[in-house]
Structure 1
């Protein structure tokens, strides 16, 4: 039986759909009924309601050891998709606890229960930092602890260190590092929230560059890596390196909205995150825009997908075409 953590999130929910379509025996852990309802809604949107009942749901938190012990009964393979995404400095402790300690718990149970293979869904945020002579981030790019990183990036890097620890203790592992994941079904987070803002008439754009990938390709990469002979490897999962302006324009076209017309220059973004910090300090409210969010918006990072294409023969969906399909959905 396969265990999926994070089955109530974008990647985990799509992974569950894929696995039950392939007649796999699947157990997914959840923390709240609301999370299960979001996954069920995704199945309904794909007209696959009859498949939802094939999932064995188990109440568990990756930080709750007794609950996890029950969840691991009869399990042979694990997809670890659970994790916290936040760029608010106030969430530093939660990020480290959930992403690092939670992953350590998963690794420990995989070792104790002699799990055949563990696939960890990480992020390009956990990848290394380019040296002066480098222009493209690969799986071999080294992490530089002297360079600034967001708390989220540090927590994802720490989670990967737990995966590598498991590998050294004999666990067969594979790590998937997706870029910005585009997909339907979760319009209160990630790309879904971006679609909402474009639909409501987004005026501003930035010219930063990063890697984007469609959620079906993340699922294809994860399952291909799990079922392959390759172990103890990590793979960057990025279809295309695009500017945020290009992505927003594609979304606008798909939704028949005007393109954003005002460029948010770096100086403006640097001003906004500072004002947001002051406002948060005065009111105690959650941060909406941080230093790292600002610099990611106008910065440029190019990611290579050559390794996964060579090892697993993965081909990727065209991002603009996929954006149109999400808008139709």
Structure 2
């Protein structure tokens, strides 16, 4: 019996489908309504929340493996408390529930944001691309986004569990690409390209296909000899403009063509912050998103390739698949992509 949190998310939904295809019995957590994902009728759904430790403990009855995919991704200042509650306290609850059931193996979905060190290192050596591995150290003296801090602290909860006897692995994916809701997660990048926006920000994006993330999680979690390790999942890094151009080409759209200079991005995020304070609306761009990708960082994934023997899909393969699936899903559902 396998238990999954975050089953309605991009990673969780593809993971559940893969588990069912391999014949596993799946139990999954949901909050308000059962998500509409492939194979949902074969899943044993349990209503609850990662912030509810009692619900988690009851849900792990008879479970052998746990995939903790639930998490909040946000760079909005309004979400700092929610990031702490879900990504840190929620992970602590999952860890404690697993410790109550000796023999459970946990796979925790973290992020490359939890590695830290990239921003501080790049500032010390401007213009030089930083190559980060799983050995990267979190710089306590550097400024970090609230999201990155929450993922780092969530990892500390898993390490605490390991120290108390929990068998666990962690994966640190970069930007996960896959066909999902146009308005959620990294799929918004495809929406941006589809809508033919003219502007783009200079910088790079590290990426990984959601199918590769799921494959790595399955191989690592069901390998009993691998434990107390974390693994970067990253297929490579490309300029953001190149990614948007490939996505636009797949959709038959015009690619963004006007680069937004750094000084303009600084003005925009400050204006958005002021607007959000005055109106209560969520900012369209924040300080962290405005500055993301400016410092050239590449996350190294040799460790997971050596441990599992897997290879990562190319950006061209991933973009082609995502565009085809997104267009097919939109045509089937009658959904309209809006600006």
Structure 2-normalised TM-score? 0.91
Partner of 1:212: 207
Structure 1: 5+ residue runs without aligned partners?
A: 44-50
- Within the alignment, does 1:299 sit opposite 2:299 as a pair? no
Residue aligning to 1:46: none
Q: CA deviation at 1:36?
A: 1.1
User: What CA distance in whole angstroms lies between the structure 1 residues aligned with 2:265 and 2:239?
Assistant: 16
Describe how 1:2-41 pairs up with structure 2 within 5 A.
2-33=2-33, 36-37=35-36, 40=37
- How many angstroms does 1:70 deviate by? 1.8
Does 1:112 pair with 2:100?
Answer: yes
Task: Judge conservation of contact 2:57–2:100 (CA < 8 Å) in 1.
Answer: no
Q: Output the CA distance in 1 between the equivalents of 2:173 and 2:189.
A: 18
User: Structure 1 residue 88 and structure 2 residue 76: aligned?
Assistant: yes
CA distance in structure 2 between the aligned counterparts of 1:30 and 1:115, rounded to whole angstroms = 24
1:272-306 CA-to-partner distances (Å, cap 9, x unmatched) read 11111111111121122111111104332111111
Name the SS of the counterpart of 1:53 in structure 2. Answer: helix
Asked whether the 8 Å contact 2:246–2:316 carries over to 1, the reply is: yes
**1:26-77 CA distance string (max 9 Å, x none):** 10000021x512xx2xx2xxxxxxx332111110100112221221111111
CA distance in 2, matches of 1:23, 1:309: 25
Aligned counterpart for 2:134 among listed residues 139, 146, 163: 139
Does the Cα contact within 8 Å between 1:78 and 1:115 map onto a contact in 2?
Answer: no
User: In 2, Cα distance between the equivalents of 1:276 and 1:288?
Assistant: 7
Which residue matches 2:226? 230
Counterpart of 2:265 in structure 1 is: 269
Question: 1:257 deviation in Å?
Answer: 0.7
Q: Residue 126 of structure 1: CA displacement? A: 0.4
Query: Conserved in 2, the CA contact under 8 Å of 1:81 and 1:121?
Result: yes
Q: 2:192 aligns with which of 197, 214, 221?
A: 197
Deviation at 1:194, TM superposition (A): 1.9
SS, match of residue 136 in structure 1: strand
- Residues 109 and 267 of structure 1, relative CA distance in 2, 3 Å threshold: same
Superposed CA deviations along residues 186-244 of structure 1, whole A, max 9, x for unmatched, are 22212322222221111111221231000000001111110122110000000011111
- Cα distance in 2 for partners of 1:109, 1:321 equals 39
Match of 1:152 in 2: 147
1:57 aligns with 2:45: yes
TM-score of the two chains, using structure 1 as the length reference: 0.93
Cα distance in 2, alignment partners of residues 139 and 145 from structure 1: 17
The more displaced of 318-327 and 17-26 is 318-327
1:47 counterpart residue number: none
Residue 71 in structure 1 maps to residue 59 in structure 2:
yes
Distance of 2:102 and 2:239 partners within structure 1? 43
The SS at the match of 2:3 is strand
Matching of residues 281-296 of structure 1 within 5 Å: 281-296=277-292
SS in 1 for 2:102: coil
For residue 148 of structure 1, report the CA deviation from its aligned partner: 0.9
Preserved CA contact (<8 Å) 2:53 2:97: no
